[in-house]
């Protein structure tokens, strides 16, 4: 097997790691002609860029070693491989050889944290982790160089990868930490070592893996165990589990605890707000400072989480005024409220893409956003909903209970996909039933045939319910011109 020579990144791309420092951090054996440095890290041969290091992670389904040749051909400067697989590659391949690739990535992550002068914020919670992380990226970037984890890289490989990508020059860093079992957050936050740890909320998510919701609260509270000495816990005062989280923080040795919410005793307190279909305005007291600001993403949940964002910004020393002003530029992340303009005969329709994931709390929030969405003269508000997974024995009741939110938010028509969503279908008033199917693939043609000009359509479900293809099918069938006018003219 012949491998192409390692690619050279553009001269303007700053080094992320010298190869010598990488090898030392990971206790790696060097092999082949290696570059002086790498400009990034990748675990995906499909998206690796010139000059990056490719880590051959062994996953649940795929072994990264099978893609090393492809990664190097695509421009990777070197590959990190295991000793057990070294013989699969030529002697002159540019490699760093380690006993275990994932453990090597974790070692590099710890080295990144040790060398970084950045103020670090970590975010967890049943709902709102990614959007809060993205809001922090926007807010802190207004004050200085900010690094934040990509997409939802919040698990056992995503967190170390995001941390190992932390540039030495960053002034601020933000990491999302997730879990669906007890004990998962503790080792991840031990690597991140945040100065501020946020718990957005505790809700009945992943109930399949917990005896009750207090177990979820305790699992989320693990984030406090990694705080640096003198660090601060930021907790949702409006959540029923606030006192429990506060006790867990104290038990972890945290002396500084800040609360946020509408509660009159919250340290970051919402005074008033106004919701619009394309964003919100808010007035809040952030640790004693009055702030008026706009949030570019629509929904009350974005308003409440902005309190935690601004509290964290203040706690890490960022300019609060700049952070608040920057939130006007916040936009929903892909699959979490992204708005797509559809062109249909006779006018436009609005598509709200919430297809990335779902749980009872985020589903209600999305239905509330749909309830505020503008429609044309003959338009309807249409919800296209897939199963919410990992809810355990409560799943049937939790799905049926969404009927109340459908009616309260004046959603006109609901399409349901999946066996669990049958419970919602049965609970809906007959006039609001659009269609039910056993899965999203079967539901797709029903939805495509039903959308008219002036409608506002929201698609949401757990990732495993595969609602994303319905979004793509709608956008593909009704592409809007590049220069869009009012998206909901009837």
Between CA 464 and CA 451 the distance in angstroms is 24
Residue 131 assigned ligand-binding role? yes
Q: Which residues contact 396 (CB under 8 A, 6 or more apart)?
A: 420, 423
* Residues ≥6 apart with Cβ < 8 Å to 71: 42, 45, 48, 54, 79
Cβ within 8 Å of residue 481, ≥6 positions away: 343
Does 130 appear as a known binding residue? yes
Mapping DSSP onto H, E and C, the string for 72-121 reads HHCCCCEEEEEHHHHHHCCCCCCEEEECCHHHHHHHHHHHHHHHCCCEEE
Report the chain's terminal Cα–Cα distance, integer Å.
61
Q: Burial, 217: exposed, middle or buried (Cβ in 10 Å; 0-12, 13-18, 19+)?
A: buried
- Measuring CA to CA, which residue among 143, 158, 253 is closest to residue 197? 253
Are 161 and 105 in contact by the 8 Å Cβ rule? The answer is yes
- Bridge partners, 256 (sequence order): 232
- Mark 74-107 as b/e (b = at least 16 C-beta within 10 Å): bbbbbbbbbeebbeebeeebbbbbbeebbebbbb
126 is in an annotated binding site: yes
Q: Return the number of other C-beta atoms located less than 10 Å from residue 212's C-beta.
A: 11
Asked whether the beta carbons of 436 and 414 are under 8 A apart, the reply is no
* 125 among annotated binding-site residues: yes
Sign of CA dihedral 92, 97, 101, 105: negative
Residue 127 assigned to a binding site: yes
Q: Which whole-number Å values give the CA distances from 134 to 31, 139, 174, 180, 205, in the listed order? A: 39, 9, 9, 21, 21
Distance of alpha carbon 345 from the chain centroid: 35
Q: For CA atoms 290, 366, 208, 424, give the dihedral sign.
A: positive
Cα separation, 3 vs 16, in Å, equals 24
Show Cβ contacts of residue 97 under 8 Å, excluding neighbours closer than 6 positions: 28, 29, 30, 31, 80, 81, 82, 83, 86
Number of Cα atoms under 13 Å in the Cβ half of residue 191: 29
Among the listed residues 459, 220, 232, 229, the one whose alpha carbon sits nearest the alpha carbon of residue 337? 459
Identify the three-state secondary structure at position 31.
strand
Query: Which residue positions form the known binding site for ATP?
Result: 125-131
Query: Which residue positions form the known binding site?
Result: 125-131
């Amino acid at each position: 097997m012949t491998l192409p020579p390692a690619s050279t990144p553009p001269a303007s791309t700053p080094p992320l790691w010298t190869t010598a420092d990488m090898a030392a951090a990971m206790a790696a054996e060097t092999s082949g002609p290696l570059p002086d440095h790498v400009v990034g890290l990748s675990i995906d041969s499909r998206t690796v860029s010139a000059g990056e290091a490719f880590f051959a992670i062994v996953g649940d389904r795929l072994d990264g070693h099978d893609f090393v040749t492809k990664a190097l051909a695509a421009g990777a400067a070197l590959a990190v491989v295991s000793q057990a697989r070294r013989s699969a590659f030529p002697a002159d391949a540019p490699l760093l050889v380690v006993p275990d690739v994932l453990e090597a990535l974790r070692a590099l992550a710890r080295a990144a944290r040790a060398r970084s002068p950045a103020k670090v914020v970590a975010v967890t919670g049943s709902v709102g982790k990614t959007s809060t992380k993205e809001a922090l990226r926007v807010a802190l970037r207004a004050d200085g160089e900010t690094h934040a984890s990509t997409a939802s890289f919040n698990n056992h490989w995503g967190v170390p990868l995001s941390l190992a990508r932390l540039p030495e020059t960053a002034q601020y860093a933000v990491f999302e930490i997730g879990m669906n079992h007890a004990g998962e957050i503790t080792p991840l936050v031990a690597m991140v070592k945040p100065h501020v740890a946020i718990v957005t909320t505790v809700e009945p998510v992943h109930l399949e893996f917990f005896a009750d919701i207090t177990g979820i609260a305790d699992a989320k509270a693990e984030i406090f165990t990694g705080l640096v000495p003198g660090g601060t816990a930021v907790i949702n005062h409006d959540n029923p589990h606030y006192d429990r989280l506060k006790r867990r923080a104290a038990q972890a040795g945290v002396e500084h605890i800040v609360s946020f919410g509408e509660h009159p005793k919250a340290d970051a307190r919402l005074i008033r707000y106004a919701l619009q279909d394309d964003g919100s305005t808010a007035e809040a007291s952030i640790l004693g400072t009055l702030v008026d600001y706009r949030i570019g993403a629509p929904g009350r949940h974005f308003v409440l989480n902005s309190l935690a964002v601004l509290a964290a910004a203040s706690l890490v020393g960022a300019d609060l005024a700049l952070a608040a002003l920057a939130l006007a530029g916040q936009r929903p992340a892909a699959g979490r409220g992204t708005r797509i303009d559809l062109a249909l005969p006779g006018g436009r329709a609005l598509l709200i893409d919430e297809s990335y994931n779902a749980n009872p709390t985020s589903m209600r929030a999305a239905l509330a956003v749909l309830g505020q969405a503008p429609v044309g003269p003959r338009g309807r508000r249409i919800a296209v909903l897939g199963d919410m997974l990992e809810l355990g024995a409560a799943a049937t009741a939790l799905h049926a209970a969404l009927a109340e939110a459908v009616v309260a938010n004046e959603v006109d028509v609901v399409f349901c996909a999946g066996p669990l969503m049958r419970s919602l279908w049965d609970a809906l008033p007959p006039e609001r039933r659009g269609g039910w199917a056993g899965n999203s693939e079967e539901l797709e043609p029903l939805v495509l045939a039903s959308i008219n000009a002036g409608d506002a359509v929201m698609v949401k479900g757990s990732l495993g319910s595969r609602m994303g293809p319905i979004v793509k099918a709608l956008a593909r069938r009704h592409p809007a011109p590049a220069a869009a006018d009012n998206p909901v003219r009837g």
